[in-house]
Amino acid sequence: AYMLKYDSTHGQFKGDIKVLSDGLEVNGKKVKFYTERDPANIPWAESEAYYVVESTGVFTTTEKAKAHLKGGAKKVVISAPSADAPMYVMGVNNETYKGDVDVISNASCTTNCLAPLAKVINDEFTIIEGLMTTIHSYTATQKTVDGPSAKDWRGGRTAAQNIIPSSTGAAKAVGKVIPELNGKLTGMSMRVPTANVSVVDLTV
């Protein structure tokens, strides 16, 4: 409740928040909380929660995300790129979803920025090839002070003082939501010292 009420980036939440024995009440609406490491143990049906957004970043494959269905969920949307789940981006290919698949991916935030832009340009002019650069705010996986990084040396630099080149799968993901662009786009990310907001630059 405290973290929702007072956010360092977005400011103070203006609504009413009450702490309940099993969750929160936000503006009069009860939100039930569960403390389960295994999604299969969450009784979604009890709360009539049939559409689940999987945002832990852990269960990003169809097989892992399907665990939510065992608890009573009917559909699962993974809020990250998935290695095998069908990927949909609103305004790009969402109308091709017919409801016949129980686990889908909504791709990444960068893909949701890039794909609509690429679609408009490709529909109007046809893209032969393109380079995407995202100027991306730092994330929770980065360091607050210099330290060792398992990924690479650059990843060990403090987030608030460095511009850090990094990889991104957004360009490749666009090929999954716009098949005719598969293999035509490449890209990179620059992690910059800002807490919020990112931008995508696309050169075709």
Active site residues: 109
Q: Per the structure block, which two tokens stand in for 191?
A: 């992690």
| Helix, strand or coil, per DSSP, at residue 75 | strand
With a CB cutoff of 8 Å and minimum separation 6, the contacts of 129 are 184, 185, 204
Counting other chains too, the contacts that 141-148 makes at CB distance below 8 Å and 24 or more residues apart are 142/191
Q: Which of 182, 142, 185, 140 is nearest to 162 (CA)?
A: 142
For the chain, the maximum distance between any two Cα atoms, rounded to a whole number of angstroms, is: 57
The answer to whether residues 140 and 195 touch, using CB atoms and an 8 Å cutoff, is no
